[in-house]
Amino acid sequence: MSIKIVDVTEEDTITCNVCNCTFDTNEITTDDFYFAWDNIVSTDCCRSCSEKLSKWKYIVWVGGVDDYYTTYERAKKHYDEWVAKGYDDVIIEEIGK
Ligand SMILES: [Zn+2]
C-alpha cells in the first residue's frame, strides 16, 4: 500500500538529494520517493535516482564531480587515469557503505 509523502513528513515539498528535483508532497507517494531511513538507499531520493543508485556500485569523485561505475575494476581504472593526469583530490566511494 502506498501512502502520500505528505503523511510522513511535515514539509510541503521534498527535494531529491541526487537530481535536486523538488516534488509536491501532496502529489507523490512512498512509491515515488525513497528515504535514507528505509535503508534501501543511502540518501533521500526519487524513484528514478534510487534505481540509478542501486545499479551503480562505485562513485569516483574528481574535485567534487561524481562519476558512477558498476564495478570496482572500472572505477579503479578511471581513478588511476585521473591520478595519472595529476589530480590529487580523487576518491573512490563504495555506494551503500
Ligand atoms: Zn532524483
Sequence ranges of the domains in the chain: 5-53, 58-94
Q: Residue 13 has what pLDDT?
A: 97
Alpha carbons within 13 A on the beta-carbon side of 28: 20
Total-model pTM: 0.55
86 Cα: distance to centroid of ligand 1 (angstroms): 32
72 Cα: distance to centroid of ligand 1 (angstroms): 24
C-alpha cell at 82: 585521473
Q: How confident is the model at residue 83 (pLDDT cuts 50, 70, 90)?
A: very high
96 Cα: distance to centroid of ligand 1 (angstroms): 16
Cα dihedral 11, 17, 20, 25 in deg (nearest 10) = -30
1 Cα: distance to centroid of ligand 1 (angstroms): 22
